[in-house]
Amino acid sequence: MARKQQEEAEFEAMTRPLEGIPLPDLENLPDYERGFWEGTRSHELRIQRCSDCKKYRHPPSPMCPHCHSMNYEWPGTNGQGQVYSLVVVHHPVHRAIGEKEQVPYNICLIELEEQEGLRIISNVLDVPQDEISIGMPVEVTFMPTVDDPNVVLPMFVRARSD
């Protein structure tokens, strides 16, 4: 990428999911992950919660790390949160990202409102890379991937102020 184009790209906002990177195989998911992906296809951010101690956990797992119960449920969340941490990636870490010139892109750790410490890794869309900041309020949106429209990703945008 030419230097001027690279400098301009520094501030461009991501507008869609990255292309060409590995995606989940929806036909062969373990049961303890299925509720998350079924939720995203319905445009709901469902986060696994222990049926016994009621603590949320993400990524999903077969056993609760708090009380060791094997029982879980998939309640919907309100999809509200804030940027907890972020990085803007400038060097492609996957061949497809470089081939399709998809840099820079952001990777954000979003802390959801439902529970302190409940975090999900995603991207923030439609915000220039240099304007994404720790503590920025965000809300979930859902986007099908280009490579497999059946895989719908939860992504985040700046929260609307009411």
Q: How confident is the model at residue 5 (pLDDT cuts 50, 70, 90)?
A: low
- Higher pLDDT pick, 12 / 122: 122
Please, which residues have CB within 8 angstroms of residue 156's CB and are 6 or more apart in sequence?
Answer: 81, 108, 110, 122, 123, 124, 125, 138, 139, 140, 141
How many other CB atoms sit within 10 Å of the CB of residue 30? Answer: 9
Tokens 């790390």 correspond to what residue? 65
The answer, as to whether pTM is greater than 0.85, is yes
Inter-residue contact 57 to 64 (CB < 8 Å)? yes
User: How do residues 117-129 score in pLDDT, each as one tens digit?
Assistant: 999 999 999 999 9
Q: How confident is the model at residue 3 (pLDDT cuts 50, 70, 90)?
A: low
